Amino acid sequence: MKSTDPYDPKGLMREAYAIPGITAEECRSIFLDWALSLPAGTDPLPLVRALLDRHGAAHPMTDVLRAALEAPASPRRRGGRAARVSA
């Protein structure tokens, strides 16, 4: 069933917060489904902030949403043969 909520069009977050005993792993899976279902080109950060304002409670999904707001780690060189052999 589709929701009319602009922040949660499929109602996934609403349902996740309603599931008793949901685990962090299940929340991450639901979050990924939610993120992949957003229209192309949509910036998810404002939506995540709005969802946190709405649902910000002690819940595993709240932890997942907060983690989504953190900047990703900067990529580091992994090494390998090219790093050891000069050209």
pLDDT in tens, 23-45: 999 999 999 999 999 989 999 99
pLDDT, position 14: 94
Domain ranges of the chain: 1-65
Q: Cα(57)–Cα(1) distance, rounded to whole angstroms? A: 25
Phi-psi category of 20—alpha, beta or left, where left has phi over 0 and alpha has psi -120 to 50?
Answer: beta
| Cα 82 from Cα 79, distance rounded (Å) | 7
By percentage, how much of the chain surpasses pLDDT 90? 67
* CA distance linking residue 3 with residue 11, whole number of Å: 5
83 pLDDT exceeds 80? no
pTM: 0.77
- Residue 17 pLDDT greater than 70, yes or no: yes
Residue 66, pLDDT above cutoff 70: yes
Q: Which percentage of the chain shows pLDDT scores above 70?
A: 91
